[in-house]
Amino acid sequence: MENRVQEIIEKQVLTVAKAVEDKIDDQIAALDKLDLDDIEVLRERRLQQMKKMAEKRSRWLALGHGDYSEIFSEKDFFSIVKASDRVVCHFYRENWPCKVVDKHLGILAKQHIETRFIKIQAEKSPFLAEKLKIVVLPTIALIKNAKVDDYVVGFDELGGSDDFSTEELEERLGKAQVIFFEGESSLKPPPKTQTRNVRQGSISQDSDSE
């Protein structure tokens, strides 16, 4: 019986290997058929793609991307979400859970310059907090094309405690498509620190979480 199972597995492996080999052969054959004009067209297309990406990077950096910055007025919030296609906004108060979020967003802002990362103090932005129904702090609003598309509220989606990794938050933002994320983080997992209990809180209360 074991020999039979082993034989089946070996056949499956060979089948997959053959399919991969055939695909590579097809790609090589396609390259062999290219003449100098085709290669020049591909080269020019690649150069144009690189040029467009460089222009995008320059525009993003000019808009403040690549940095995790605090804004101090609701007017600034609306200006930023109109200017950038993707915005991650942390509504915070001066407490431990929000400082944990600050640490992770500061790292991700540098890794994902395609997205603007900002923070705003919820208690000093009552109109905005009410309009976006911000109750629990910390709350991260995920904004695409000037509209709030999703929220990360507290730490419930991140394991329920404040010792979650930057990669876990990155994956969550990736699922919301507010950053460019292909399923594998380029970040190295940071060492786990001593776990502290997360307390939730609302804007109108002194507790740190709900």
Q: What are the DSSP calls for 139-151, one per residue?
A: EEEEEETTEEEEE
pLDDT at 53: 87
Orientation of helix 166-175 relative to helix 96-111, angle to 10°: 70
Distance CA 92, CA 123 (A): 8
pLDDT at 195: 41
> How many secondary structure helices (H) and strands (E) does the chain include?
6, 7
Answer yes or no: are the C-beta atoms of 96 and 196 closer than 8 Å. Answer: yes
Determine which helix (DSSP H) or strand (DSSP E) holds 6, and give its type and residue range.
helix 2-32
Answer yes or no: are the C-beta atoms of 51 and 98 closer than 8 Å. Answer: no
Distance CA 121, CA 112 (A): 23
In three-state secondary structure terms, 154 is coil
Please report which confidence band the pLDDT of residue 207 belongs to, taking 50, 70 and 90 as the band edges. Answer: very low
Distance CA 16, CA 136 (A): 50
pLDDT in tens, 152-171: 999 999 999 999 999 999 99
pLDDT top residue among 177 and 43? 177
pLDDT at 148: 96
In three-state secondary structure terms, 42 is helix
Residues 6 or more apart from 124 whose CB is under 8 A from it? 72
Mean pLDDT lowest for which of 40-54, 60-74, 156-170? 40-54
Phi, psi (degrees; rounded to nearest 5) at 148? -70, 115
Candidates 118, 66, 130, 74; CA nearest to 92 is 118
Pairing verdict, β 139-144 and 136-137 = unpaired
Answer yes or no: are the C-beta atoms of 199 and 154 closer than 8 Å. Answer: no
